[in-house]
């Protein structure tokens, strides 16, 4: 594998790890808030609305990140190739 392909793979894997880490943190945060506020929600109708809203946020955010990661996988050579070119140019200019 060429050096460019290795760098592209490394950047892609790093972005994928970061994206899924943020999804996990979102799930933990939302479930924690739901759990901690549950006793203070006085009405069962409001509880249902809060659970539906939390589920919608979690489902749609997770689906969006999944779609983003899939798109990045399909176009990673274009996306990360440009990033690497700009990073290399900036590094060359800094060294001048």
What's the CA gap between 26 and 16, in Å, rounded? Answer: 15
pTM above 0.85, yes or no: no
Total domains, the chain: 1
CA distances from 59 to 21, 22, 48, 79, 87 (A): 15, 14, 16, 26, 35
- How do the pLDDT tens digits run along the chain, 96 residues long? 589 899 999 999 999 999 999 999 999 999 999 999 999 999 999 999 999 999 999 999 999 999 999 999 999 999 898 899 998 899 888 887
Range of the domain at 54: 3-95
Angle at 57 between CA 52 and CA 61, to 5 degrees: 150
């Amino acid at each position: 594998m060429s050096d460019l392909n290795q760098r592209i793979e490394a950047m892609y894997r790093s972005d994928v790890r970061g994206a899924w880490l943020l999804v996990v943190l979102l799930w933990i945060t939302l479930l924690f808030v739901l759990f901690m506020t549950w006793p203070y929600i006085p009405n069962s109708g409001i509880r249902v609305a809060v659970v539906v809203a939390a589920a919608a946020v979690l489902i749609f955010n997770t689906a969006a990140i999944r779609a983003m990661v899939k798109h990045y996988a399909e176009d990673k050579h274009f996306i990360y190739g440009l990033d690497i070119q700009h990073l290399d140019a900036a590094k060359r200019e800094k060294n001048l």
